[in-house]
Amino acid sequence: MDIVVKGHHTDVAERFRQHAVEKLSKLERFDQKVIRLDVEVSRERNPRQADQRDRVEITCLSKGPVIRAEAAADDVYAALDGAFTKLEGRLRKAADRRRVHHGSRTPVGLAEATAGLPQQESPNGVATAVAELPAEGASMVVREKIHTADPMTLEQALFEMELVGHDFFLFACADTGLPSVVYRRRGYDYGVLRLQG
């Protein structure tokens, strides 16, 4: 497993680099297929955010889904510890999911668990959380990413959303073939938006 430590607009001390490699090498016990861990260290220059000035982001690249964690603290070592703890939990969750369960301990699938729930639709059939566009000539694209993706089930999309630690996840639905977004709602509920042409 390769561990790459780099700084984003900041220098990374050799002592920290060695500490990070030593600490992160322990994560290999959860997934033997890990190819590389990318560790990015950045520093906030705003003095008002001194208690969160050092940020560490760890991205785990393996033959499975990408797993990511980040943390910020007043010290780069504390930020590394926070990100390590989050990543360790997500890797443990992924490892537990790969185990085969038998008998009464078999987990219930998402489709089976939500089969009896009533379906709700907005009055006009359109999602109500639509952002208004800025005035003409003032629109801007902040960041654009293009990813290739294999179709996946809703359950797999929820799982991968949890692994990367985001509140939403864009995927191509294997059941319907539609581009879809699963997102977190208040109270640990989830929602799904699907695009139909």
Q: Which domains does the chain have, with CATH numbers?
A: 2-98 (3.30.160.100), 147-197 (3.30.505.50)
Percent of the chain with pLDDT over 70: 74
Which segment of 28-32, 106-110, 187-191 scores lowest on mean pLDDT?
106-110
Looking up tokens 């801007």, which residue turns up?
140
Identify the pLDDT of residue 124: 43
For 133-192, what is each residue's pLDDT tens digit? 455 555 566 677 777 788 999 988 988 888 888 888 899 999 988 999 999 887 768 889
Identify the pLDDT of residue 137: 54
Q: The sheet that has 179-184: what strands, in order across it?
A: 168-172, 179-184, 190-194
**Greatest mean pLDDT range, 44-48, 82-86, 155-159:** 82-86
